[in-house]
Amino acid sequence: MKESLKIFAGDLKNSFKDLLPIIIVVALFQGAIIQAMPANITSITIGLFIVAVGLALFIRGLELGIFPIGEGLAVDFAKKGSVFWLLLFAFTIGFSTTVAEPALIAIADKAAVISHGLIDAFWLRMTVALSVGFAIALGTLRILLGHPIAYYIISGYILVVIVTFFTPAEIIGLAYDSGGVTTSTVTVPLVAALGIGLASSIKGRNPAIDGFGLIAFASLTPMIFVQVYGIIVYTFMDTPATQGITTVVEGGKAVASTYTFSAYDTLMALVGTIKDVTPILLVIFFFQYAIIKKPVVHLHKIITGIIMVVLGLYAFIMGLEMGLFPIGETIALQLTGMSNNLLIYLFAFLIGFSTTMAEPALLAIAIKAEEISEGNIKQNILRMIVALGVAVGIGLGAYRLVSGDPIHYYIIGGYILVILFTYFAPRYIVPIAYDSGGVTTSTVTVPLVAALGLGLAENIEGRNPLIDGFGLIAFASLFPMLTVMGYGIHAEYYKKKKLKGEIS
Contacts of 286 (CB under 8 A, 6+ apart): none
Find the domain containing 440 and state its range.
Answer: 2-503
- Cα separation, 504 vs 484, in Å, equals 30
Q: What is the pLDDT of residues 3-20, one digit of tens each?
A: 777 887 887 888 888 778
The mean-pLDDT minimum among 92-106, 151-165, 309-323 falls in 92-106
Contacts of 376 (CB under 8 A, 6+ apart): none
Q: What is the pLDDT of residues 404-427, one digit of tens each?
A: 888 878 888 998 899 999 999 988
The mean-pLDDT minimum among 80-84, 292-296, 437-441 falls in 437-441
HEC string of 270-334 equals HHHHHHHHHHHHHHHHHHHHHHCCCCCCCHHHHHHHHHHHHHHHHHHHHHHHHHHHHHHHHHHHH
> For the chain, what is the domain count?
1
Average pLDDT of the chain to the nearest whole number: 81
Residue 144 or residue 321, greater confidence:
144
pLDDT band (50, 70, 90) for residue 133: very high
Q: What is the pLDDT of residues 144-179, one digit of tens each?
A: 998 989 899 999 988 998 998 898 877 887 888 787
Kindly compute the dihedral angle of the four CA atoms of residues 321, 323, 325, 326, in this order, to the nearest 10 degrees: 100
pLDDT of residue 325: 66
Q: Comparing C-alpha atoms, which of 231, 218, 261, 210 is closest to residue 46?
A: 261
Query: Nearest-5° angle of CA 37, CA 43, CA 47?
Result: 115
Alpha helices in 29-82, H assignment, sequence order: 41-61, 67-80
Residue 277: count of CB within 10 angstroms of its CB: 22
Q: What is the pLDDT of residues 40-92, one digit of tens each?
A: 777 778 888 888 888 888 888 888 888 888 888 888 888 887 889 999 999 99
